Amino acid sequence: MMNPVSSSSAVNIGIIGLGHAGMSLHLPKLCRNTRASILAVADIQDERLTKFSLAYPNLKVKKVRDYQELLEDEKIQAVFVTSPTPTHFEIAMDALRAGKHVFCEKPISSSVEEATQLVQEAESRSQSQVLMIGHVIRYWPDYVAIKRTIDSGTIGEPVIARAYRAIRMPDGWEDFYGKSDQSGGVLFDLSIHDIDFLIWCLGNVSSVYAQGGHLSGRGDRDLIDYAQVHLDFESGAMAYVESNWAVPKSFPFTTAFEISCRGGMVSVSNSQAHSSMELTMDDQEKLIRNPWERDGYFLEEDAFLDSVTSTPHGSPIAPKDALYSLKVANAARESIHYNGKEVFPK
């Protein structure tokens, strides 16, 4: 049964999956958010539950191994699904059917078929429940500044974009990241951040072609851990997305994005200490726009809590958008499979 959420009270939350995303990315921010009250956590590994107890000794919450126990708790109104990608479908589906609002980490699933079913389920419940997929770049302050600059029209129509994202494939890759059918490789895990952001800015994709391969020697032999993706948009814009999981362990997480519009160019990169955006226009000195705190996770969680507590509900990131981003990433995978063939995502 659904426990209705009032706009004035904190949302009672359960977290499913206490790995990097659950423990390091979401928990610390949710603990800081006065609109969130964590009631329970679930993880299939005892060791993770113990680690949680040691890290948060003052957080008196229910700790369970089976997430179903958490879903049966009527006090819990919303869940964060931060478990491995291949579990997203089953857990998010069960959570929706148990009447919970659901925040689920990206990608929505490693299977387009599963993602399609999940979107159908979420849409049939959209009057009373929220499903939000964590495409955090839509909340990353410097990327948000890019989107606002484009939407303002001050630098004209966007025409060419370039995105780069590199980090070594996460430790523990033997569990799921290194298995092509479970994580979807670098395309579903890293490239999808930039693909989703580009679609948000530039609209639908008309065709995709990509090259890539398995460079690191870690994981399945058919795992794509490096990819170059070219996207053509229905608007006539084009973009290049390069993603690399095959860098050395000591290589710092590196991201960069630039977009050329008819009247100027905006770019961001995480190489500065603070997040900021550079605006370059003809006959003008380059402008550095505000350094911001980098806290996209807090901001996306806050947007989720907003949608849970407001009526009508409306997911801040429509589930069908997350499905579409997955389809484009999947088209890139198909293109690599056929050695750069042009693929038309539907």
Ligand X SMILES: NC(=O)c1ccc[n+]([C@@H]2O[C@H](COP(=O)([O-])OP(=O)(O)OC[C@H]3O[C@@H](n4cnc5c(N)ncnc54)[C@H](O)[C@@H]3O)[C@@H](O)[C@H]2O)c1
Q: Does 11 bind ligand X (CB under 6 A)?
A: no
Q: Which of 28, 153, 156, 172 binds ligand X (CB under 6 A)?
A: 172
Q: CB nearer to ligand X: give 106 or 168.
A: 106
The reply on whether position 182 binds ligand X by CB under 6 A is: no
**Which residue in the set 11, 12, 13, 19 belongs to the binding site for ligand X (CB under 6 A)?**
19
Minimum CB distance to ligand X, residue 5 (Å): 23
Among 78, 101, 105, 115, binds ligand X (CB under 6 A): 105
Q: Which is nearer to ligand X, 5 or 317 (CB)?
A: 317
What phi and psi values does residue 128 have, to the nearest 5 degrees? -120, -15
The DSSP code sequence of 155-211 is T--EEEEEEEEE-PPPTTTTTTTT-HHHH-HHIIIIIHHHHHHHHHHH--EEEEEEE
End-to-end CA gap in the chain: 36
Q: How far is the CB of 171 from ligand X (least distance, A)?
A: 8
Q: Which is nearer to ligand X, 25 or 36 (CB)?
A: 25
Pairing of strands 11-16, 36-42: parallel
Q: In terms of CB distance, is 48 or 101 closer to ligand X?
A: 48
Helix axes 319-337, 112-124, angle to 10 degrees: 170
By the rule CB under 6 A, 134 interacts with ligand X? yes
Which residues 55-74 are close enough to bind ligand X by CB under 6 A? Answer: 67
- Pick 25 or 231: Cβ nearer ligand X: 25
Residue 240 in 3-state DSSP? Answer: strand
User: What residues does 242 pair with on adjacent strands?
Assistant: 164, 228
Q: How far apart are CA 140 and CA 264, in angstroms?
A: 22
- Residue 45 touches ligand X, criterion: CB under 6 A: yes
How many C-beta neighbours within 10 Å does residue 111 have?
21
Task: Give the interface segment with ligand X, choosing from 77-85, 145-153, 155-163, 242-250 (CB under 6 A).
Answer: 77-85
> Where does this chain touch ligand X (CB under 6 A) — which range of 4-12, 38-46, 92-100, 310-318?
38-46
> Using CB under 6 A, which residues numbered 186 to 225 contact ligand X?
189
Q: Which two tokens stand for residue 238?
A: 């084009």
Which lies closer to ligand X via its Cβ, residue 265 or residue 317? Answer: 317
Contact flag: residue 17 with ligand X (CB under 6 A): yes
Going along the chain, which residue ranges are E strands?
11-16, 36-42, 62-64, 78-81, 101-105, 131-134, 158-166, 205-213, 226-233, 238-244, 254-261, 264-269, 275-280, 287-292
Contact status: 111 vs ligand X (CB under 6 A): no
What's the closest the beta carbon of residue 287 comes to ligand X, in angstroms?
28
Q: β-strand 36-42 against 264-269: which pairing, if any? A: unpaired
Instruction: Please report, for residues 71, 153, 265, the alpha-carbon distance to residue 283 in angstroms, rounded to integers and kept in the order given.
Output: 59, 19, 13
Q: How far is the CB of 9 from ligand X (least distance, A)?
A: 27
Per CB under 6 A, 128 contacts ligand X:
no
Q: Can you tell me which residue has the tokens 């949680």?
A: 52
Q: Footprint of ligand X on this chain (CB under 6 A)?
A: 16-22, 25, 42-45, 48, 67, 82-85, 87, 105-106, 134, 136, 170, 172, 175, 189
